[in-house]
């Protein structure tokens, strides 16, 4: 387990890589997790925004690149 003190010494890139590793591990067993009811509501609202043209979907890799670029600027 990573201690809080260890996190403080990690670079931003190391933290992002750790988060991605955690996400990959958690998402590999996503079928074991039951989604709360509000998730379905949010998904339906998002689908409606996409259908109406208010929102445009993005590839996950694109989103991650944009987030990394934004974090690098801070």
**What pLDDT is recorded for position 32?**
80
Residue 39: inside a domain, yes or no?
A: no
Taking only the tens place, the pLDDT of each residue in 32-64 is 888 899 999 999 999 999 999 999 999 999 999
**What pLDDT is recorded for position 74?**
64
Residue 17: inside a domain, yes or no?
A: no
Alpha-carbon distance of 3 to 8, in angstroms, equals 9
Residue 9: inside a domain, yes or no?
A: no
**What pLDDT is recorded for position 64?**
94
Residue 53: inside a domain, yes or no?
A: yes
**What pLDDT is recorded for position 3?**
86
- Residue 73 domain boundaries: 45-74
Report the sign of the C-alpha dihedral through residues 42, 48, 50, 55, in that order. negative
Residue 13: inside a domain, yes or no?
A: no
Residue 34: inside a domain, yes or no?
A: no
Residue 31: inside a domain, yes or no?
A: no
Residue 50: inside a domain, yes or no?
A: yes
- Structural domains of the chain, count: 1
Residue 29 has pLDDT above 90, yes or no: no
**What pLDDT is recorded for position 1?**
77
């Amino acid at each position: 387990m990573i201690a809080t003190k260890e996190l403080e010494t990690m670079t931003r890139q190391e933290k992002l890589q750790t988060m991605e590793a955690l996400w990959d591990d958690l998402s590999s067993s996503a079928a074991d997790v039951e989604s709360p009811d509000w998730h379905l509501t949010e998904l339906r609202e998002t689908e409606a925004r996409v259908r109406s043209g208010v929102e445009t979907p993005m590839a996950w890799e694109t989103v991650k690149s944009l987030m990394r670029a934004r974090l690098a600027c801070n």
